[in-house]
């Protein structure tokens, strides 16, 4: 089993979901008392959120890249970033390490393609919905990506930061999200991506009429698969 380094804590509600899902996945695959081999860097999200709000992605990238290197130095053989939004700095992280970095959008796109939809709705923070780093990555996999119009983008973003990252889950917000999703389905969405880890606290597959892609679960499952993949056969020495 490979040791997984988790860059998380953005917010910690999603981080503990990653830890739970990865540990459950390893136990399901290996049985017995097995659990995942993890190294975790958890953050004070207020500090990260301040960098996001200021648009200081360079500082955020430098911070996460340095911590990814620390995880690798501590023995991590695979790095997982437990947040959709901060994949905006994925290139900085990838440049800082020599072990594999499991990109969340790639894991999500693979699941969408396997399920069949080609046009998907993307819900997430304003940064994820409006910037190119995430949508373009999905589009490289042949997907058409729809994001909410205004004022729906503001509703989706504000519920994440004002409620979900603070552990607040409200039925009123669930209904608002479902209305946003329905408008995207009316525009042609054949599935919906929960492109913020905390959205899974609010909306589940049973809440929507189209295929639902919970990125936390998909990313965690991909991390388990990568950690438990058989190593490449080593060449045998000839005597």
Q: How far apart are CA 91 and CA 61, in angstroms?
A: 8
Catalytic residue positions, numbered: 83, 196
Please give the structure tokens belonging to residue 89: 């700095």
- CA dist 226 and 69 (Å) reads 19
Residues 6+ apart with CB under 8 A from 174: 202, 203, 207
């Amino acid at each position: 089993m490979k040791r997984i380094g988790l860059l998380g804590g953005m917010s910690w509600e999603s981080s503990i979901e990653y830890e739970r899902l990865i540990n459950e996945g390893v136990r399901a695959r290996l049985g017995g008392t097995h659990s995942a081999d993890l190294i975790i860097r958890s953050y004070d999200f207020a500090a990260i959120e301040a960098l996001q709000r200021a648009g200081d992605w360079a500082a955020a990238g430098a911070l996460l890249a340095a911590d990814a290197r620390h995880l690798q130095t501590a023995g991590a053989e695979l790095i997982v970033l437990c947040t959709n939004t901060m994949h905006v700095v994925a290139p900085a992280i990838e440049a800082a390490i020599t072990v594999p970095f499991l990109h969340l959008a790639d894991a999500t796109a693979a699941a969408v393609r396997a399920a069949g939809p080609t046009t998907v709705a993307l819900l997430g923070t304003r940064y994820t919905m409006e910037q190119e780093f995430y949508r373009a990555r999905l589009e490289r996999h042949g997907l058409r990506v729809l994001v909410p119009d205004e004022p729906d983008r503001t509703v989706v973003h504000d519920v994440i930061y004002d409620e979900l990252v603070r552990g607040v889950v409200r039925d009123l917000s669930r209904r608002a999200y479902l209305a946003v999703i329905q408008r995207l389905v009316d525009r042609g969405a054949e599935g919906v991506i929960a492109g913020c880890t905390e959205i899974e606290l609010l909306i589940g597959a049973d809440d929507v009429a189209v295929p639902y892609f919970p990125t936390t679960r998909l990313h965690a499952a991909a991390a388990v698969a990568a950690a438990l993949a058989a190593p490449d056969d080593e060449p045998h020495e000839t005597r």
